[in-house]
Structure 1
Amino acid sequence: MSIQRLYTAKAKATGGRDGRALSSDNVIDLPLSTPKEMGGPGKEGATNPEQLFAAGYAACFDGALNLVARLEKTPISGSTVEASVSFGKDGDNYGLAVDLHVNIPGMEQEQAEALVAKAHQVCPYSRATRNNIEVNLSTSTNA
Structure 2
Amino acid sequence: MTIAVEKVLYTARATAHGGRDGKVATDDGKLDVLVVPSAEMGGSGNGTNPEQLFAAGYAACFHSALKLVARKARQDSDGSTVTAQVGIGPINGGAGYGLEVVLEVSLPGIDDRAAAEELVAKAHEVCPYSNATRGNIKVDLKVA
Pairwise TM-score range, normalised by the shorter structure: over 0.9
> CA offsets, 1:90-125, max 9 Å, x none?
112210000000000031211101100000011000
Matching residue of 2:52: 51
- Is the aligned partner of 1:133 residue 2:137? yes
Q: Secondary structure at the match of 1:17?
A: coil
Larger displacement relative to structure 2 (71-80 or 16-25):
71-80
The code of the aligned residue for 2:65 comes to: A
Q: Secondary structure at the match of 1:120?
A: helix
The code of the aligned residue for 2:75 comes to: T
Q: Secondary structure at the match of 2:20?
A: helix
Q: Secondary structure at the match of 2:89?
A: strand
Matching residue of 2:118: 114
> CA offsets, 1:24-70, max 9 Å, x none?
11111100101121122222xx1000000000000000000011111
Return the TM-score normalized by structure 2.
Answer: 0.92
Corresponding pairs, count = 138
User: How far did residue 2 of structure 1 move?
Assistant: 4.0
Matching residue of 2:81: 80
Distance 2:106 2:84 in 1: 12
Distance 1:97 1:69 in 2: 26
Q: Secondary structure at the match of 2:76?
A: coil
The code of the aligned residue for 1:138 comes to: K
Detail structure 1 runs of 4+ shifted over 2 Å in the superposition.
none
The code of the aligned residue for 2:82 comes to: V
Query: Gaps (5+ residues) in structure 1?
Result: none
Q: Which of these residues, 24, 29, 48, is aligned with residue 26 of structure 1?
A: 29
